[in-house]
Chain A
Amino acid sequence: MKNTSPIIFLKNVNKSFPLSLGGVQQVLFDINFTIKSGEFVAIMGPSGSGKSTCMNIIGALDSATSGTYELYGKDTKTMTPDDMATIRNEYIGFVFQNFNLLSKRTVIDNVMLPLMYRGIVMRDRIERAREMLRLVGLEKFETYLPTQLSGGMKQRVAIARALSGNPKLILADEPTGSLDSKMGNEILKFFEKLNRDFGITIIMITHEFEISQYAHRIIHIYDGRITYDGPVPKSETVLLKSEKRVKK
Protein backbone atom coordinates (compact mmCIF):
# COMPACT_ATOMS: atom_id res chain seq x y z
CA MET A 1 0.00 0.00 0.00
CA LYS A 2 1.65 3.20 -1.21
CA ASN A 3 1.60 6.38 0.81
CA THR A 4 0.72 9.21 -1.61
CA SER A 5 1.99 12.17 0.45
CA PRO A 6 4.62 14.34 -1.36
CA ILE A 7 8.15 13.85 -0.12
CA ILE A 8 9.96 15.97 -2.68
CA PHE A 9 8.80 19.41 -3.68
CA LEU A 10 10.70 21.64 -6.10
CA LYS A 11 9.33 25.04 -7.04
CA ASN A 12 11.07 27.40 -9.46
CA VAL A 13 14.44 25.85 -8.73
CA ASN A 14 17.34 27.46 -10.57
CA LYS A 15 20.97 26.51 -10.38
CA SER A 16 23.95 28.33 -11.76
CA PHE A 17 27.70 27.90 -11.34
CA PRO A 18 30.35 30.61 -11.38
CA LEU A 19 32.73 30.33 -14.31
CA SER A 20 36.47 30.49 -13.73
CA LEU A 21 36.86 33.37 -16.22
CA GLY A 22 34.03 35.33 -14.62
CA GLY A 23 30.28 35.28 -15.08
CA VAL A 24 27.94 32.41 -14.32
CA GLN A 25 26.47 29.51 -16.21
CA GLN A 26 22.89 28.57 -15.46
CA VAL A 27 22.27 24.83 -15.69
CA LEU A 28 18.73 24.52 -14.30
CA PHE A 29 15.82 26.82 -15.19
CA ASP A 30 12.63 27.00 -13.15
CA ILE A 31 12.40 23.34 -12.26
CA ASN A 32 9.02 22.44 -10.78
CA PHE A 33 7.86 18.97 -9.75
CA THR A 34 6.61 16.95 -6.83
CA ILE A 35 7.41 13.35 -6.06
CA LYS A 36 5.15 11.37 -3.80
CA SER A 37 6.14 8.62 -1.46
CA GLY A 38 6.35 5.22 -3.12
CA GLU A 39 6.95 6.51 -6.64
CA PHE A 40 9.57 5.07 -9.01
CA VAL A 41 10.77 7.99 -11.11
CA ALA A 42 13.39 8.11 -13.85
CA ILE A 43 15.02 11.44 -14.47
CA MET A 44 16.17 11.32 -18.07
CA GLY A 45 18.07 13.49 -20.41
CA PRO A 46 21.16 13.58 -22.59
CA SER A 47 24.63 14.28 -21.20
CA GLY A 48 25.00 17.85 -19.95
CA SER A 49 21.23 18.35 -19.70
CA GLY A 50 21.40 19.08 -15.94
CA LYS A 51 19.92 15.82 -14.65
CA SER A 52 22.89 15.11 -12.33
CA THR A 53 22.73 18.66 -10.95
CA CYS A 54 19.05 18.08 -10.31
CA MET A 55 19.85 14.82 -8.53
CA ASN A 56 22.50 16.55 -6.39
CA ILE A 57 19.90 19.06 -5.25
CA ILE A 58 17.34 16.33 -4.54
CA GLY A 59 20.00 14.35 -2.67
CA ALA A 60 20.91 17.36 -0.48
CA LEU A 61 24.45 17.25 -1.83
CA ASP A 62 24.02 20.70 -3.30
CA SER A 63 21.60 23.56 -2.87
CA ALA A 64 19.58 25.55 -5.37
CA THR A 65 20.69 29.04 -6.35
CA SER A 66 17.08 30.17 -6.12
CA GLY A 67 13.68 28.59 -5.70
CA THR A 68 12.39 26.19 -3.09
CA TYR A 69 13.32 22.60 -2.42
CA GLU A 70 11.57 20.77 0.38
CA LEU A 71 12.44 17.25 1.41
CA TYR A 72 9.87 15.66 3.71
CA GLY A 73 8.47 19.12 4.35
CA LYS A 74 11.86 20.56 5.37
CA ASP A 75 13.13 23.54 3.41
CA THR A 76 16.77 22.89 2.52
CA LYS A 77 17.56 26.57 1.87
CA THR A 78 18.47 27.38 5.45
CA MET A 79 20.27 24.11 6.18
CA THR A 80 23.96 24.02 7.20
CA PRO A 81 26.30 21.42 5.64
CA ASP A 82 25.91 19.32 8.79
CA ASP A 83 22.10 19.54 8.63
CA MET A 84 22.29 18.34 5.03
CA ALA A 85 24.56 15.47 6.13
CA THR A 86 21.99 14.44 8.74
CA ILE A 87 19.17 14.61 6.17
CA ARG A 88 21.19 12.42 3.77
CA ASN A 89 21.94 9.94 6.49
CA GLU A 90 18.38 9.63 7.73
CA TYR A 91 16.28 9.85 4.57
CA ILE A 92 18.37 9.00 1.51
CA GLY A 93 20.23 5.97 0.24
CA PHE A 94 22.68 6.64 -2.61
CA VAL A 95 23.58 4.19 -5.38
CA PHE A 96 26.30 5.41 -7.72
CA GLN A 97 27.30 4.35 -11.23
CA ASN A 98 30.81 3.44 -10.10
CA PHE A 99 29.62 1.89 -6.77
CA ASN A 100 31.81 4.14 -4.55
CA LEU A 101 32.59 1.40 -2.06
CA LEU A 102 35.50 1.90 0.34
CA SER A 103 38.09 -0.47 -1.11
CA LYS A 104 39.97 -1.15 2.14
CA ARG A 105 36.84 -1.97 4.15
CA THR A 106 35.12 -5.34 4.04
CA VAL A 107 31.70 -5.77 2.48
CA ILE A 108 29.95 -5.71 5.87
CA ASP A 109 31.95 -2.63 6.99
CA ASN A 110 30.78 -0.81 3.87
CA VAL A 111 27.17 -1.78 4.50
CA MET A 112 27.39 -0.67 8.14
CA LEU A 113 28.86 2.76 7.29
CA PRO A 114 25.60 4.81 7.31
CA LEU A 115 24.65 3.17 10.62
CA MET A 116 28.02 4.11 12.14
CA TYR A 117 27.40 7.79 11.32
CA ARG A 118 23.95 7.48 12.85
CA GLY A 119 25.45 6.25 16.14
CA ILE A 120 23.82 2.79 16.10
CA VAL A 121 25.52 0.31 18.46
CA MET A 122 27.77 -2.27 16.84
CA ARG A 123 25.57 -5.30 17.59
CA ASP A 124 22.55 -3.73 15.91
CA ARG A 125 24.71 -2.53 13.02
CA ILE A 126 25.96 -6.03 12.32
CA GLU A 127 22.45 -7.48 12.56
CA ARG A 128 21.02 -4.88 10.15
CA ALA A 129 23.94 -5.18 7.71
CA ARG A 130 23.61 -8.99 7.59
CA GLU A 131 19.90 -8.63 6.96
CA MET A 132 20.60 -6.32 4.01
CA LEU A 133 23.29 -8.61 2.64
CA ARG A 134 20.80 -11.48 2.79
CA LEU A 135 18.33 -9.33 0.89
CA VAL A 136 20.82 -8.73 -1.93
CA GLY A 137 22.03 -12.35 -1.82
CA LEU A 138 25.55 -11.63 -0.58
CA GLU A 139 25.40 -12.98 2.95
CA LYS A 140 28.36 -15.29 2.27
CA PHE A 141 30.59 -12.42 1.18
CA GLU A 142 30.53 -10.18 4.22
CA THR A 143 34.24 -10.54 4.96
CA TYR A 144 35.30 -9.99 1.34
CA LEU A 145 36.91 -6.79 0.16
CA PRO A 146 35.11 -4.97 -2.70
CA THR A 147 38.12 -5.64 -4.94
CA GLN A 148 37.35 -9.36 -4.70
CA LEU A 149 33.83 -8.95 -6.11
CA SER A 150 32.37 -8.64 -9.64
CA GLY A 151 30.74 -5.41 -10.82
CA GLY A 152 27.22 -6.74 -10.23
CA MET A 153 28.11 -7.88 -6.73
CA LYS A 154 29.69 -4.50 -5.96
CA GLN A 155 26.49 -2.74 -7.02
CA ARG A 156 24.47 -5.08 -4.83
CA VAL A 157 26.76 -4.21 -1.91
CA ALA A 158 26.16 -0.52 -2.70
CA ILE A 159 22.39 -1.17 -2.68
CA ALA A 160 22.70 -3.02 0.65
CA ARG A 161 24.60 -0.01 2.01
CA ALA A 162 21.94 2.37 0.68
CA LEU A 163 19.21 0.26 2.29
CA SER A 164 20.94 -0.34 5.63
CA GLY A 165 19.91 3.06 6.99
CA ASN A 166 16.27 2.18 6.22
CA PRO A 167 15.88 5.20 3.88
CA LYS A 168 12.58 6.53 2.56
CA LEU A 169 14.24 7.38 -0.73
CA ILE A 170 16.85 5.77 -2.94
CA LEU A 171 18.72 7.98 -5.35
CA ALA A 172 20.42 5.97 -8.06
CA ASP A 173 22.75 7.76 -10.44
CA GLU A 174 23.15 5.67 -13.60
CA PRO A 175 23.13 2.49 -11.46
CA THR A 176 23.67 0.16 -14.41
CA GLY A 177 26.22 2.33 -16.21
CA SER A 178 29.17 0.13 -15.23
CA LEU A 179 27.39 -3.22 -15.66
CA ASP A 180 26.63 -5.52 -18.59
CA SER A 181 23.00 -5.69 -19.69
CA LYS A 182 22.22 -8.95 -17.87
CA MET A 183 23.61 -7.69 -14.59
CA GLY A 184 22.00 -4.30 -15.20
CA ASN A 185 18.58 -5.88 -15.64
CA GLU A 186 19.03 -7.81 -12.40
CA ILE A 187 19.76 -4.61 -10.52
CA LEU A 188 16.79 -2.84 -12.08
CA LYS A 189 14.50 -5.75 -11.20
CA PHE A 190 15.76 -5.47 -7.67
CA PHE A 191 14.85 -1.78 -7.60
CA GLU A 192 11.42 -2.70 -8.93
CA LYS A 193 11.06 -5.22 -6.11
CA LEU A 194 12.17 -2.69 -3.47
CA ASN A 195 9.64 -0.20 -4.79
CA ARG A 196 6.81 -2.72 -5.11
CA ASP A 197 7.34 -4.83 -1.99
CA PHE A 198 8.82 -2.30 0.43
CA GLY A 199 7.25 0.93 -0.84
CA ILE A 200 10.63 2.65 -1.12
CA THR A 201 10.62 5.75 -3.30
CA ILE A 202 13.20 5.41 -6.07
CA ILE A 203 14.59 8.18 -8.22
CA MET A 204 16.89 6.95 -10.92
CA ILE A 205 19.03 9.06 -13.20
CA THR A 206 19.58 7.57 -16.62
CA HIS A 207 20.11 8.58 -20.22
CA GLU A 208 18.88 5.24 -21.63
CA PHE A 209 15.22 4.97 -22.56
CA GLU A 210 15.20 1.14 -22.11
CA ILE A 211 16.25 1.48 -18.48
CA SER A 212 13.57 4.04 -17.75
CA GLN A 213 10.99 1.36 -18.63
CA TYR A 214 11.35 0.00 -15.10
CA ALA A 215 10.07 3.33 -13.68
CA HIS A 216 6.47 4.51 -13.53
CA ARG A 217 7.16 8.13 -14.32
CA ILE A 218 9.71 9.98 -16.37
CA ILE A 219 10.94 13.51 -15.83
CA HIS A 220 12.81 14.47 -18.97
CA ILE A 221 15.28 17.33 -18.76
CA TYR A 222 16.83 19.03 -21.73
CA ASP A 223 19.12 22.06 -21.54
CA GLY A 224 18.22 22.57 -17.88
CA ARG A 225 14.49 22.62 -18.45
CA ILE A 226 11.83 19.96 -17.88
CA THR A 227 10.42 19.02 -21.28
CA TYR A 228 8.35 16.05 -20.22
CA ASP A 229 6.91 14.90 -16.88
CA GLY A 230 4.46 12.01 -17.02
CA PRO A 231 4.03 8.27 -17.33
CA VAL A 232 6.63 6.24 -19.20
CA PRO A 233 5.79 6.55 -22.92
CA LYS A 234 5.89 3.53 -25.20
CA SER A 235 8.34 5.25 -27.53
CA GLU A 236 11.31 7.50 -26.99
CA THR A 237 9.99 9.70 -29.80
CA VAL A 238 7.68 11.39 -27.35
CA LEU A 239 10.67 12.54 -25.31
CA LEU A 240 12.66 13.61 -28.36
CA LYS A 241 9.70 15.64 -29.61
CA SER A 242 9.49 17.34 -26.22
CA GLU A 243 13.12 18.44 -26.60
CA LYS A 244 12.24 20.22 -29.81
CA ARG A 245 10.00 22.59 -27.91
CA VAL A 246 13.05 23.85 -26.02
CA LYS A 247 15.19 23.97 -29.17
CA LYS A 248 12.63 26.24 -30.81
Chain B
Amino acid sequence: MLRTRVIPAMLLRNESLVKTIRFGKFTYVGDPCNTLRIFNELEVDELLFLDITATPEKRLPNLKILADIADECFMPLGYGGGIHTVDHAKSIFDIGFEKVAINSYATEHPEFVSELAKHYGNQAVIASIDVKKGLFGKKIVYTCSGRHRTQLEPVAWAKELESRGAGEILLTSIDREGTWEGFDLELVKSVTDAVSIPVIAHGGAGSVQDIGEVVKQAGASAVALGSMVVFQKQGMGVLVNFPDQKKLEKVLG
Protein backbone atom coordinates (compact mmCIF):
# COMPACT_ATOMS: atom_id res chain seq x y z
CA MET B 1 0.00 0.00 0.00
CA LEU B 2 1.24 3.42 -0.97
CA ARG B 3 1.08 5.56 2.10
CA THR B 4 -0.49 8.99 2.06
CA ARG B 5 2.29 11.53 2.00
CA VAL B 6 2.34 14.01 4.85
CA ILE B 7 4.62 16.83 3.83
CA PRO B 8 5.95 19.67 5.97
CA ALA B 9 5.68 22.80 3.82
CA MET B 10 8.43 25.15 4.93
CA LEU B 11 8.14 28.81 4.06
CA LEU B 12 11.38 30.54 3.23
CA ARG B 13 11.82 34.26 3.39
CA ASN B 14 15.06 34.23 1.48
CA GLU B 15 17.35 32.55 4.05
CA SER B 16 15.05 32.25 7.05
CA LEU B 17 12.15 29.99 7.77
CA VAL B 18 8.95 31.79 8.62
CA LYS B 19 5.33 30.92 9.17
CA THR B 20 2.43 33.09 8.11
CA ILE B 21 -1.26 33.42 8.84
CA ARG B 22 -3.44 33.88 5.74
CA PHE B 23 -0.24 34.75 3.87
CA GLY B 24 0.54 37.67 6.19
CA LYS B 25 1.78 38.18 9.76
CA PHE B 26 5.22 36.59 9.52
CA THR B 27 6.63 34.69 12.50
CA TYR B 28 10.31 33.74 12.44
CA VAL B 29 10.67 29.98 12.84
CA GLY B 30 14.40 29.43 12.53
CA ASP B 31 17.25 28.39 10.35
CA PRO B 32 16.23 26.02 7.51
CA CYS B 33 19.14 23.63 7.98
CA ASN B 34 18.64 23.16 11.72
CA THR B 35 14.95 22.61 11.17
CA LEU B 36 15.33 20.04 8.45
CA ARG B 37 17.88 18.11 10.48
CA ILE B 38 15.06 17.55 12.93
CA PHE B 39 12.76 16.45 10.09
CA ASN B 40 15.50 14.04 8.98
CA GLU B 41 15.53 12.51 12.45
CA LEU B 42 11.75 12.30 12.41
CA GLU B 43 11.96 10.58 9.00
CA VAL B 44 9.28 12.69 7.39
CA ASP B 45 7.92 11.53 4.03
CA GLU B 46 8.90 14.51 1.96
CA LEU B 47 9.73 18.21 2.33
CA LEU B 48 8.55 21.19 0.40
CA PHE B 49 10.29 24.56 0.54
CA LEU B 50 8.45 27.61 -0.72
CA ASP B 51 10.26 30.92 -0.93
CA ILE B 52 7.26 33.16 -0.48
CA THR B 53 9.11 36.41 -1.03
CA ALA B 54 11.05 35.48 -4.17
CA THR B 55 8.38 36.55 -6.68
CA PRO B 56 7.14 39.65 -4.77
CA GLU B 57 10.75 40.83 -4.40
CA LYS B 58 11.57 39.75 -7.97
CA ARG B 59 14.34 37.53 -6.67
CA LEU B 60 15.64 34.35 -8.28
CA PRO B 61 15.74 31.12 -6.27
CA ASN B 62 18.47 31.28 -3.60
CA LEU B 63 20.59 28.38 -4.81
CA LYS B 64 23.07 28.63 -1.95
CA ILE B 65 20.48 27.94 0.72
CA LEU B 66 18.88 25.23 -1.44
CA ALA B 67 22.24 23.49 -1.81
CA ASP B 68 22.72 23.58 1.97
CA ILE B 69 19.27 22.08 2.38
CA ALA B 70 19.86 19.31 -0.18
CA ASP B 71 23.15 18.38 1.51
CA GLU B 72 21.27 17.51 4.67
CA CYS B 73 18.16 15.88 3.26
CA PHE B 74 17.62 12.22 2.54
CA MET B 75 14.01 12.42 1.52
CA PRO B 76 12.20 13.78 -1.54
CA LEU B 77 12.50 17.53 -1.87
CA GLY B 78 10.45 20.12 -3.65
CA TYR B 79 11.07 23.83 -4.12
CA GLY B 80 8.91 26.69 -5.31
CA GLY B 81 9.48 30.43 -5.60
CA GLY B 82 10.71 32.65 -8.40
CA ILE B 83 11.23 29.93 -11.01
CA HIS B 84 10.64 31.10 -14.56
CA THR B 85 13.23 29.49 -16.78
CA VAL B 86 14.21 25.89 -17.50
CA ASP B 87 17.70 26.88 -16.34
CA HIS B 88 16.40 27.83 -12.87
CA ALA B 89 14.71 24.46 -12.65
CA LYS B 90 17.82 22.68 -13.91
CA SER B 91 20.03 24.25 -11.24
CA ILE B 92 17.53 23.19 -8.59
CA PHE B 93 17.37 19.61 -9.90
CA ASP B 94 21.18 19.47 -10.14
CA ILE B 95 21.45 20.41 -6.48
CA GLY B 96 19.37 17.37 -5.52
CA PHE B 97 15.74 18.50 -5.46
CA GLU B 98 13.41 16.36 -7.56
CA LYS B 99 10.38 18.60 -7.84
CA VAL B 100 9.81 22.23 -8.58
CA ALA B 101 6.61 24.11 -7.85
CA ILE B 102 5.40 26.71 -10.30
CA ASN B 103 2.76 29.23 -9.34
CA SER B 104 2.70 32.90 -10.44
CA TYR B 105 4.73 32.42 -13.60
CA ALA B 106 2.42 29.65 -14.86
CA THR B 107 -0.56 32.03 -14.87
CA GLU B 108 1.26 34.31 -17.33
CA HIS B 109 3.01 31.54 -19.26
CA PRO B 110 1.11 28.26 -18.92
CA GLU B 111 3.30 26.78 -21.69
CA PHE B 112 6.18 26.89 -19.19
CA VAL B 113 4.56 24.00 -17.29
CA SER B 114 4.61 21.89 -20.48
CA GLU B 115 8.19 22.87 -21.19
CA LEU B 116 9.32 21.73 -17.75
CA ALA B 117 7.30 18.52 -17.95
CA LYS B 118 8.81 17.72 -21.34
CA HIS B 119 12.34 18.19 -20.02
CA TYR B 120 12.05 16.58 -16.61
CA GLY B 121 8.86 14.50 -16.67
CA ASN B 122 5.45 15.26 -15.17
CA GLN B 123 6.47 13.86 -11.79
CA ALA B 124 8.97 16.72 -11.39
CA VAL B 125 6.42 19.51 -11.83
CA ILE B 126 4.11 20.65 -9.04
CA ALA B 127 1.56 23.22 -10.11
CA SER B 128 0.85 25.40 -7.11
CA ILE B 129 -2.51 27.14 -6.81
CA ASP B 130 -3.34 29.67 -4.09
CA VAL B 131 -7.04 30.28 -3.61
CA LYS B 132 -8.95 32.96 -1.73
CA LYS B 133 -12.64 33.64 -1.33
CA GLY B 134 -13.95 36.85 -2.85
CA LEU B 135 -16.58 39.16 -1.38
CA PHE B 136 -19.47 36.99 -2.50
CA GLY B 137 -17.82 33.73 -1.56
CA LYS B 138 -16.53 32.98 -5.04
CA LYS B 139 -13.15 31.26 -4.95
CA ILE B 140 -10.48 32.87 -7.09
CA VAL B 141 -6.84 32.07 -7.83
CA TYR B 142 -4.27 34.51 -6.44
CA THR B 143 -0.60 34.77 -7.36
CA CYS B 144 2.51 36.56 -6.10
CA SER B 145 2.06 35.16 -2.57
CA GLY B 146 -1.55 36.29 -2.38
CA ARG B 147 -0.86 39.85 -3.53
CA HIS B 148 -2.31 39.58 -7.00
CA ARG B 149 -5.86 38.56 -7.86
CA THR B 150 -6.31 36.75 -11.16
CA GLN B 151 -9.48 36.04 -13.15
CA LEU B 152 -8.89 32.29 -12.84
CA GLU B 153 -11.29 29.90 -11.22
CA PRO B 154 -9.52 27.12 -9.24
CA VAL B 155 -11.15 24.03 -10.82
CA ALA B 156 -10.75 25.21 -14.41
CA TRP B 157 -7.19 26.32 -13.71
CA ALA B 158 -6.30 22.98 -12.11
CA LYS B 159 -7.65 21.15 -15.17
CA GLU B 160 -5.65 23.36 -17.48
CA LEU B 161 -2.47 22.77 -15.46
CA GLU B 162 -3.07 19.03 -15.60
CA SER B 163 -3.51 19.15 -19.36
CA ARG B 164 -0.30 21.20 -19.59
CA GLY B 165 1.63 18.39 -17.94
CA ALA B 166 1.72 19.14 -14.21
CA GLY B 167 2.35 15.97 -12.22
CA GLU B 168 0.57 17.10 -9.10
CA ILE B 169 -1.23 20.08 -7.68
CA LEU B 170 -0.42 21.90 -4.49
CA LEU B 171 -3.70 23.48 -3.52
CA THR B 172 -3.45 26.16 -0.84
CA SER B 173 -6.37 27.88 0.79
CA ILE B 174 -5.19 31.37 1.69
CA ASP B 175 -8.22 31.83 3.96
CA ARG B 176 -7.25 28.80 6.04
CA GLU B 177 -3.44 29.05 5.93
CA GLY B 178 -1.96 29.33 9.41
CA THR B 179 -5.38 29.27 11.08
CA TRP B 180 -5.48 25.67 12.46
CA GLU B 181 -9.19 25.64 11.47
CA GLY B 182 -9.03 22.58 9.24
CA PHE B 183 -8.82 22.27 5.47
CA ASP B 184 -11.29 23.80 3.06
CA LEU B 185 -12.80 20.41 2.23
CA GLU B 186 -15.18 21.83 -0.35
CA LEU B 187 -12.35 23.47 -2.28
CA VAL B 188 -10.16 20.38 -2.15
CA LYS B 189 -13.00 18.09 -3.24
CA SER B 190 -13.94 20.33 -6.14
CA VAL B 191 -10.39 20.01 -7.48
CA THR B 192 -9.80 16.32 -6.73
CA ASP B 193 -13.10 15.53 -8.50
CA ALA B 194 -11.95 17.40 -11.58
CA VAL B 195 -8.37 16.15 -12.07
CA SER B 196 -6.79 12.73 -11.98
CA ILE B 197 -3.30 13.82 -10.85
CA PRO B 198 -2.51 13.84 -7.12
CA VAL B 199 -3.64 16.88 -5.16
CA ILE B 200 -1.67 18.02 -2.09
CA ALA B 201 -4.04 19.81 0.27
CA HIS B 202 -2.49 22.76 2.08
CA GLY B 203 -3.81 25.40 4.44
CA GLY B 204 -5.60 24.97 7.73
CA ALA B 205 -4.36 21.70 9.22
CA GLY B 206 -4.70 21.86 12.98
CA SER B 207 -4.93 18.23 14.01
CA VAL B 208 -4.39 14.67 12.86
CA GLN B 209 -8.18 14.44 12.42
CA ASP B 210 -8.05 17.27 9.87
CA ILE B 211 -5.52 15.24 7.89
CA GLY B 212 -7.76 12.19 7.93
CA GLU B 213 -10.77 14.24 6.81
CA VAL B 214 -9.16 15.91 3.83
CA VAL B 215 -7.86 12.57 2.58
CA LYS B 216 -10.97 10.51 3.20
CA GLN B 217 -13.70 13.05 2.53
CA ALA B 218 -12.10 15.34 -0.01
CA GLY B 219 -9.88 12.89 -1.90
CA ALA B 220 -6.51 14.56 -1.27
CA SER B 221 -3.57 12.31 -2.22
CA ALA B 222 -1.20 14.09 0.10
CA VAL B 223 -1.28 16.71 2.81
CA ALA B 224 1.03 19.65 3.44
CA LEU B 225 1.50 20.88 6.99
CA GLY B 226 2.74 24.24 8.17
CA SER B 227 1.89 25.55 11.65
CA MET B 228 1.25 22.07 13.02
CA VAL B 229 4.86 21.00 12.48
CA VAL B 230 6.62 24.19 13.56
CA PHE B 231 4.60 25.32 16.58
CA GLN B 232 3.92 23.63 19.87
CA LYS B 233 0.24 24.53 19.67
CA GLN B 234 -1.80 27.36 18.24
CA GLY B 235 -0.50 30.67 19.60
CA MET B 236 2.47 28.99 21.26
CA GLY B 237 6.21 28.94 20.63
CA VAL B 238 8.26 27.25 17.94
CA LEU B 239 8.68 23.50 18.30
CA VAL B 240 9.63 21.49 15.25
CA ASN B 241 7.62 18.27 15.37
CA PHE B 242 5.72 15.76 13.27
CA PRO B 243 2.50 13.88 14.00
CA ASP B 244 2.91 10.48 15.55
CA GLN B 245 3.06 7.81 12.85
CA LYS B 246 0.64 5.49 14.66
CA LYS B 247 -1.95 8.27 14.99
CA LEU B 248 -1.55 9.08 11.31
CA GLU B 249 -2.01 5.46 10.33
CA LYS B 250 -5.19 5.36 12.39
CA VAL B 251 -6.82 8.29 10.58
CA LEU B 252 -5.48 7.39 7.15
CA GLY B 253 -5.71 3.59 7.29
Chains A and B bind each other? no
